[in-house]
Amino acid sequence: MSDAPRYRFAPSPTGFFHVGGARTALYNWALAKKSGGTFVLRIEDTDEARNQPEWTQGIIDALAWIGIHQDDPTFEGPYFQSSYAEAHIAAAEQLHRDGRAYYCDLTGEQVQERAKQNGKPGYDGYSRDRGLEPGPGRVLRFRVPEGQTVVEDLVRGRVEFANDTIEDFVLLRGNGSPMFLLANVVDDVSMRVSHVVRAEEHLPNTPKQQMLWHALGHTPPTWAHVPVLVNEQRKKLSKRRDKVALEQFRDEGYLADAMVNYLMTLGWAPRGDIEIVPWQQIQDEFRLEDVSHSPAFFDLKKLASFNGEYIRALPLDDFIEACRPFLTGPDVPWTPQQFDEEVFRSIAPLAQTRLVVLPEIVALVDFLFLDAPPMDDAAFTKTFASAEANAVHTDAIDEYTTLSRWDHDTLKTTLEEIGTRHGLKLGKAQAPVRV
RNA sequence: GCCCCCAUCGUCUAGUGGCCUAGGACACCACCCUUUCAAGGUGGCGGCACGGGUUCGAAUCCCGUUGGGGGUGCCA
């Protein structure tokens, strides 16, 4: 058995891939790659019914987009948590036999009632010593030991929890099915996970998992809880309020490299003063110990800036290929007959410095393929407010129509002359023509 | 309520007791370049939450306050 580190990445199948999850995946991936270890993908849901194949495929596709490929030797999985229920239950029963867990017949309501009477929230350990046997409706609870639990966290350091603040949590539901916490630990043990790198929101349940590791007779993994990504209100990014689906960024014309680079600068920074760096450098330099402790605001503006830089840095052919989906899709305003690949090719270098996201390419080049391209009404009204502007425009149409040579210099000289005739300098004269 | 985490420009960060008059990036502003818009160049604005310690010396260590966030399910 190899002792190379094994990093597990465990998203739940929610129908889309969260940008925060993407960053965590990238952390795990960089570490696995750098160490010669393994990236273990586990689809996290104990309920078989919720595992939709297309959602799993969505996760795999999204991972592939950001460079985490299923066919890479570093990649292992996907595993489905729901298919290991038997092992989870067996582990729970073992815990019961060992006296580390006990059955309880209180319903959720009864637990709450007792809590109210006690003046203390949570389960009070009512059935600890009642020696109940398993039975329908009875849950199996973990017997939290006395003392304290110390979590050694790679990004946060030493975190202490007093065990008496942790209630005897449920391992098996009344219907016998395993809870996520248990399932997680059992799977981590059997998949020989050595490093658990996940979002900070999981820190409070880490002592529970750690106790389970010990109770099951194993040494807990190395923990690392990375800060969450937040919105402008400093709240954790959520699907309801915020744009968080990685797939959406992909579809809206963000480059994967830009996205990856940007995500990695949230909570971490490469050495030196340059933030835009190749993945290889990120992979080499990334360390969990250097990850920031505080939440990071996901800034669309900065992402846009990164994207623009990455677009500009693309070799021409790559740029053209990157634009293609947005030039030939069903939403494009021109017909395939109107679109001219060669014409596009010649103007592409000019367009390349003007894009923030790829779909903007359409509005930039549509006048080349359309008889009547959409106009900016505001700009039109403003520009054509003066008589001179209208005159320049009319003259330009006349003269451009009969021009012998249609090139940069001739066009410019002609327009300059027209402008002079109407008392306008080139800067002003060209405006109506451009509009 | 209880538990846990966090705190450097508006934002993302560098900084691990003297290299800090706190560096970079995004955003913003100005100027340059320019036939437009961009791109590019130059410059500017702007920050160590507060109060106590420790130390010859603190953004950096300790304590407290305040503020923010997360967790507290027979969800994952």
Instruction: Tell me whether the omega of the peptide bond preceding residue A78 falls within 30 degrees of 0, making it cis.
Output: yes
Query: Hey, which of A49-58, A210-219, A379-388 has the most confident mean pLDDT?
Result: A210-219
Closest nucleotide relative to residue A12's CA, C1' based = B76
Percentage of chain A surpassing pLDDT 90?
76
Asked if residue A402 has pLDDT above 90, the reply is: no
**Distance of C1' in B55 from CA in A132, Å:** 61
- Whether A284 shows a pLDDT value over 70: the answer reads yes
pLDDT band at A423 (very low <50, low <70, confident <90, very high): confident
Q: Residue A345 CA to B32 C1' — how many Å? A: 31
Instruction: With cut-offs at 50, 70 and 90, classify the pLDDT of residue A42.
Output: very high
Model confidence over A120-129: pLDDT tens digits?
889 999 999 9
Span A198-237, pLDDT tens digits: 999 999 999 999 999 999 999 999 999 999 999 999 999 9
Instruction: Tell if A233 CB is < 7 Å from nucleic strand B.
Output: yes
Interval A345-367 mean pLDDT:
94
Encode chain A in three state secondary structure: CCCCCEEEECCCCCCCCEHHHHHHHHHHHHHHHHHCCEEEEEECCCCHHHCCHHHHHHHHHHHHHCCCCCCCCCEEEEEEHHHHHHHHHHHHHHHHHCCCEEEECCCHHHHHHHHHHHCCCCCCCCCCCCCCCCCCCCEEEECCCCCEEEEEECCCEEEEEEHHHCCCCEEECCCCCECHHHHHHHHHHHCCCCEEEEEHHHHHHHHHHHHHHHHCCCCCCEEEEECCEECCCCCECCCCCCCCEHHHHHHCCCCHHHHHHHHHCCCCCCCCCCCCCCHHHHHHHCCHHHCCCCCEECCHHHHHHHHHHHHHHCCHHHHHHHHHHHHHCCCCCCCCCCCCHHHHHHHHHHHHCCCCCHHHHHHHHHHHCCCCCCCCHHHHHHHCCCHHHHHHHHHHHHHHHHCCCCCHHHHHHHHHHHHHHCCCCHHHHHHHHHC
What number is the ipTM of this complex? 0.96
Residue A293 has pLDDT above 90, yes or no: yes
Between residue 346 and residue 365 of chain A, the positions with Cβ below 7 Å from nucleic chain B are: 353-354
Q: What mean pLDDT, rounded, does chain A reach? A: 92
What pLDDT shows up at residue A379?
A: 67
Q: From residues 381-420 of A, which are strand B contacts by CB within 7 A?
A: 408, 412
Q: Which of A116, A120, A235, A239 is catalytic?
A: A239
Taking only the tens place, the pLDDT of each residue in A298-344 is: 999 999 999 999 999 999 999 999 999 999 988 899 999 999 999 99
Residue A208: active-site member = no
Bases of chain B within 7 A of a CB of the protein:
1-8, 10-16, 23-27, 35-40, 68-76
Q: How confident is the model at residue A316, as a pLDDT?
A: 96
